[in-house]
Amino acid sequence: MMFSPWKDGRPTVVVGLMSGTSLDGIDAAIVHIKGSGLAASVELLHYYSKAYEPELRQRLRDLCVEANSNSALICNMNAFLGYQFGAAVLEAVADAGMHVDEVDLVSSHGQTIWHQPVPEQGDPYAVASTLQIGDISAIAKHTGKLVVGDFRPADMAVGGQGAPFAPYGDWILFRHPERGRLLQNIGGIGNCTALPAGADPSDVLAFDTGPGNMVIDAVAHILSGGRLLYDDGGNWAAQGKPDRVLLDEMLAHSYFGTPPPKSTGRELFGHSYAVSFLEQAKLRKLSDEDAMATATAFTAHSIADSYENYVFPRHGIDEVIVTGGGAHNKTLLSMLGELLPGQKVMTSRTLGFDDDAKEAVIFALLGNDFMLGVPNNLPAATGAFRPTVMGKLALP
């Protein structure tokens, strides 16, 4: 089913919204899209980011922890975030010097508060499931625009893990006829997309590598007594030295030995994990600087080890392109470069693409394809047994 203005095939302007596992705020990408699917051409018109205030960030963090959450809190925050997302759309449009009438569609990822791709054992009512909040009806009514959202459940319904979704956009935006590329997004969780030179969709290999900024941010927050939300530029970690014994123990986590397709989230590497890590760091009498360095090295090594185990045996890779908040962590990038001497490690900004905007752009693509009835999952990445159209529509 198609909706006007998609009936006449003209290019569209879509606002893609992304709020990731870092819980740091809302990213909005205003994107001009011509065509659809793997043949789409994309122009980023404007990128806007709106940080969450500390109390809202903490409330969202609490919703991701079973002991701190309940149905009433989730219900309330689902509506509240919907209006926040709607406001972010209007602010992004104004910031771009545009009028909302120039926008054809809003496409929202929502805020993940629970992601369970593998059901709990022993519970007959447990199935693969995921929950993103931020009511799309609230966004639609607040902006007066068609809104597409809630993408992940459709992939799960056809046997996928509902993640990662970035590979679909990575293939469209970054494939190269001669160079093998590995796209590494480092948000709260890290996810990678391997694109061999001249890749077809069936050649794409993608999966969550494990923690991105999630453990680093939590450690910085705890060690600073709540003053810091992250290690700015990796400067704190740069003053310390990773503890190899503790690092090896962390890398022995069962997630890293699981072959793709696979995905993870705050359920494995959230606040509880960071608290446990700091308890071990204290037992080993690590300084705060060494604890930060170890947490940062954990992300770097988990990424590089994932490549060595699952990517390099299958594909030749020339370039590693880092996006997301982790692209601003110089210590993390330096560690990755040292661990990957055979590849050129760079950020997407080197290629003229905003490091922070990528995932919001990808959700603009997903929304556009939904409107055209084009399958917008990538089974090779999610493990789904067939392509499907993902998303749900809310009318203004």
Q: Kindly report, residue by residue over 307-362, the tens digit of the pLDDT.
A: 999 999 999 999 999 998 899 999 999 999 999 999 999 999 888 888 889 889 99
Instruction: Give pLDDT, residue 7.
Output: 52
Instruction: Give pLDDT, residue 81.
Output: 98
What is the CATH class of 6-164+357-394?
A: alpha beta
Low pLDDT (below 50) residues in the chain: none
Considering the segment(s) 175-351 as one domain, its CATH architecture is: 2-Layer Sandwich (3.30)
Instruction: Give pLDDT, residue 34.
Output: 93
Instruction: Give pLDDT, residue 117.
Output: 86
24 annotated to a ligand binding site: yes
20 annotated to a ligand binding site: yes
The rounded mean pLDDT for the chain is 93
Instruction: Give pLDDT, residue 351.
Output: 87
Cis preceding-peptide flag for 117 (omega within 30 of 0): no
pTM: 0.83
Identical fold for domains 6-164+357-394 and 175-351, yes or no, is yes
27 annotated to a ligand binding site: yes
What DSSP assignment string belongs to 81-119?
HHHHHHHHHHHHHHHTT--GGG--EEEEEEEEEEEESSP
367 annotated to a ligand binding site: no
Instruction: Give pLDDT, residue 23.
Output: 83
User: What order do you get walking across the sheet with 205-211 strand by strand?
Assistant: 205-211, 189-195, 181-186, 319-323, 344-347
Instruction: Give pLDDT, residue 24.
Output: 86
Domain locations in the chain?
6-164+357-394, 175-351
